[in-house]
Structure 1
């Protein structure tokens, strides 16, 4: 098998508004491909090499469109499932004047909630070096059990496991359920990308981003590495002493202020960040190098509308970094 990475989770349609403002006031939208794991998979394909991608779309026009998009960015269709009994998830995005966004989901019993445990067999898992999943798949349906099963088996097989809680409160019955289920997933996770607010919701408060990350790393059976994204203020990364890229004597913390760009749309920026971080760690750039490049990938993504459609390739990333170094 050529692929060494597997990404699992939702692929959906983002409807991007024609202008900022409340959803009730927006008259026009543009269809864009989305879904956090889909964005990560596409980002890795553009930056590194195509990973395997396990997802499920409806047997409908939106699903067929998404299948074509995944193919266009080089993702293999081996685990791209088409569901004849469920529709493709839709998400309507709302922007404020700064480009920050909120989502309204149409996701009741849709295809991406119907992943089944055991789909990825042991032979595939044993050949993988890295497995990534996100929190939306845990919110409902059989995809919760399927994702937890995948993370547990990937960890047991020796893969590095990464995870993004991707908190979307409207998809969960209550905050307590979100925290309980995601904490169950984190037992199997090595690398977690989150926000300070998400760590607080999971029971890892801190007076600053670094202390919140250290609290999560210090938890029993928790991840050994945390990337905390802070929007336009950059990001912080903390690696525990058992991390392969940290100081073996004590936790290592690094910070990056981010890059100054003209923001159009922040949709998918966190997913782009994660793709940059995974690609960089896998290529041996270390924690500091991974943080810098991940911030650059995220910054580039915010300069265009949409999520997957705004992702940079390796050439664009290198040109951006060269310009940043020259400035």
Structure 2
């Protein structure tokens, strides 16, 4: 008897991104932001449907964010509206070496994400739940996240430390719920020090994290030094692409989205982060976390970089 094929059988994938959505107030003006929203944005641009679970205020800023999300193809059915707390704004300052610091105001709407029984079905029928530490700063949003993690097939923890909005105890608990984690080299050092495993090489620190939390995958991003992908038995290193940086806002989120795209499409470990390093670099050449681009734009950027590397190899060295 004929029956309707499921999403998994037809190859359709879906990712849920949980947490903050906000306006990044940059020196160049305000831009939509928030790590979960950024990841959802880049997933959509690369052809993977994404759903954002967050909360905005019943205000002009919130309505503008909904218009942006809808325009970008991000599902907003689970972006709640709060009548008491306002839409989040973050003051972003770009310092030396293009490093970005943030002043994150509180309380704001996404501190109060409510559990909705429909969310359990959403999570259960999706392939990945991406979550970070910032939205877990509040009791309400943390409790909702814990309920959603109970239903997730694959739980990816984007560590994303934003002082002073975390504690070692909070991060420890979020690691314990994860199947995989992404963190930068500074976060790896900080987490390792908390756990008293801070001595030794990057490889040794990652292996200790894997053992402590039984993590199947860990990604360490290292800016101009590239990134490394770890499973319990392997390590793959991926070089960075040299670019002229405009700002680094959201580059890690773009990286994570591209990693998920390749993973969901069955890319092998040997090349799993190639698209991720390319998209992360591409975003740093633009302003803000969510520049407009097509896959053709990204492919052209990769092609240009490939040509440049070939020319560098041909050039005589003194």
TM-score norm. by structure 2 comes to 0.87
CA contact (8 A) 2:21 2:55 kept: yes
Give the C-alpha shift of residue 277 in structure 1: 0.6
Give the C-alpha shift of residue 225 in structure 1: 0.5
Computing the radius of gyration from Cα coordinates, the structure with the larger value is: 2
Among residues 99, 108, 111, which one is paired with 1:113 in the alignment? 111
- Look up the match of 2:49: 50
**Structure 1 residues 325 and 127: alpha-carbon distance in aligned structure 2, compared to 1, 3 A threshold:** same
Q: Secondary structure at the match of 2:114?
A: coil
TM-score norm. by structure 1 comes to 0.85
- Look up the match of 2:149: 151
- Look up the match of 2:315: none
4+ runs of 1 displaced by more than 6 Å? none
Q: Secondary structure at the match of 2:236?
A: strand
| Rounded Cα–Cα distance in structure 2 between residues aligned with 1:17 and 1:182 | 31
Give the C-alpha shift of residue 181 in structure 1: 1.4
Give the C-alpha shift of residue 170 in structure 1: 2.3
Cα shift readout 1:95-143 (whole Å, capped 9, x = no counterpart): 124211100111x221010012345443323211111111111112411
| Rounded Cα–Cα distance in structure 2 between residues aligned with 1:187 and 1:118 | 24
- Look up the match of 1:207: 200
| Rounded Cα–Cα distance in structure 1 between residues aligned with 2:259 and 2:246 | 22
Q: Verify: 1:231 aligned to 2:223, yes or no.
A: yes
Cα shift readout 1:141-187 (whole Å, capped 9, x = no counterpart): 41111112212321xxxx11111111011223xxxxx2211221222
Cα shift readout 1:177-226 (whole Å, capped 9, x = no counterpart): x221122122221121102332333325353332222221111x432101
Q: Secondary structure at the match of 2:48?
A: coil
- Look up the match of 2:17: 7
**Structure 1 residues 254 and 130: alpha-carbon distance in aligned structure 2, compared to 1, 3 A threshold:** same
Q: Which runs of 5+ in 1 are unaligned?
A: 19-29, 173-177, 241-250
Among residues 276, 291, 299, which one is paired with 1:318 in the alignment? 299
| Rounded Cα–Cα distance in structure 1 between residues aligned with 2:79 and 2:265 | 26
CA contact (8 A) 2:15 2:48 kept: no
**Structure 1 residues 47 and 144: alpha-carbon distance in aligned structure 2, compared to 1, 3 A threshold:** same
Q: Which runs of 5+ in 2 are unaligned?
A: 1-6, 309-318
Q: CA RMSD in A?
A: 1.8
| Rounded Cα–Cα distance in structure 2 between residues aligned with 1:319 and 1:189 | 35
Alignment of 1:66-215 (within 5 A): 66-106=65-105, 108-154=106-152, 159-172=153-166, 178-202=167-191, 203=195, 204-215=197-208
| Rounded Cα–Cα distance in structure 2 between residues aligned with 1:47 and 1:94 | 29
- Look up the match of 2:26: 16
